[in-house]
């Protein structure tokens, strides 16, 4: 694979993009899981699918849009969906979880309509659903890199505020933190990561990369910062093994990455169980 990596640009794009996503997806995923917002990633991924399907349909219908990267409309749809989720959560204050199925249903509905109008599934749409090593362009790599920069800057500036909001939102509001705006920015950044990750992991599987490494890390980490470190390590491990497996076995990288994440999770669960038994026997 190393020789192919040097020789083929598409493989360079896929591997570098995957390594970047392996960092930023679990990094944000830690805050998503701690705040019990895991299903939001699923909702936004379905909204992103609507944007991608809509872009592919428009490129078929309007000749001038044939060269438009579907990722752009996917990003717009994902960010718009995140803002709608936040708005609905505030409208249904006592039933905030309703916002997620509402937006997810809307995303699925529009996706079905645009896919029907585009006369069914195409190979391009399939690559967006489950990821593709060969479909990642240099333009996609630059978009992922820009999104990664936004994520790093956001977490650097608002790490303390996000930490407080994740564990005690009421205290954060009482202490004068602009909780509303920080949460909106967090939702937008999450939407960007989901949209940017779909070329490698796939729209239907991207939420798994944001939650499975975190679930594994939480079983062995002894603190929040340790959970972040282990999440990123497990995310990178899953991406590397998943991409190599997808390359040699000619499989969708999204599936191999997610299955690798599940294996890592099972190993950490087993390790935790064995260590607890060892501690009890002593």
Q: What percent of the chain has pLDDT over 70?
A: 90
Please tell me the distance from the alpha carbon of residue 128 to that of residue 52, in angstroms, as a whole number: 8
Lowest mean pLDDT among 37-41, 63-67, 114-118, 143-147: 63-67
* pLDDT of the residue at 148: 92
Query: What is the C-alpha R_g of the chain?
Result: 19
Query: Alpha helix locations (H) across the chain?
Result: 2-7, 9-34, 38-61, 70-91, 99-117, 123-130, 138-167, 169-174, 179-197, 206-220, 224-249, 253-281
- Reported pTM: 0.85
**64: Cβ–Cβ under 8 A, 6 or more apart, which residues?**
none
* pLDDT of the residue at 213: 93
| Residue 79 vs residue 1, higher pLDDT | 79
* pLDDT of the residue at 232: 93
Lowest mean pLDDT among 23-37, 56-70, 157-171: 56-70
Average pLDDT over residues 92-107: 83
**123: Cβ–Cβ under 8 A, 6 or more apart, which residues?**
none
Average pLDDT over residues 246-275: 87
Give 54's pLDDT tier (boundaries 50, 70, 90).
confident
CB atoms within 10 A of CB 6: 9
């Amino acid at each position: 694979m190393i020789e192919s990596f040097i020789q083929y640009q598409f493989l360079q794009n896929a591997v570098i993009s995957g390594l970047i996503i392996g960092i930023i997806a679990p990094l944000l995923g830690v805050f998503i899981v701690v705040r019990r917002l895991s299903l939001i990633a699923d909702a936004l991924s379905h909204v992103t699918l609507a944007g991608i399907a809509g872009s592919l349909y428009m490129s078929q219908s309007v000749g001038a849009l044939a060269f438009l990267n579907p990722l752009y409309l996917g990003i717009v749809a994902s960010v718009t969906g995140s803002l709608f989720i936040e708005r609905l959560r505030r409208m249904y204050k006592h039933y905030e979880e309703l916002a997620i199925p509402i937006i997810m249903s809307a995303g699925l509905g529009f996706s079905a309509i645009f896919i029907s109008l585009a006369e069914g599934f195409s190979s391009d749409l399939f690559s967006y659903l489950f990821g593709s090593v060969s479909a990642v362009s240099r333009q996609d790599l630059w978009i992922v890199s820009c999104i990664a920069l936004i994520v790093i800057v956001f977490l650097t500036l608002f790490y303390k505020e996000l930490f407080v909001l994740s564990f005690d939102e009421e205290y954060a509001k009482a202490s004068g933190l602009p909780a509303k705006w920080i949460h909106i920015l967090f939702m937008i950044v999450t939407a960007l990561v989901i949209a940017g990750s779909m070329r490698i992991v796939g729209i239907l599987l991207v939420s798994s990369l944001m939650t499975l490494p975190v679930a594994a890390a939480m079983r062995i980490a002894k603190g929040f910062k340790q959970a972040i470190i282990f999440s990123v390590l497990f995310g990178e491990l899953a991406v590397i093994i998943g991409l190599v497996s997808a390359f040699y076995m000619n499989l969708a990288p999204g599936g191999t990455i997610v299955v690798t994440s599940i294996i890592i999770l099972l190993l950490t669960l087993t390790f935790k169980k064995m260590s607890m038994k060892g501690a009890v026997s002593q």
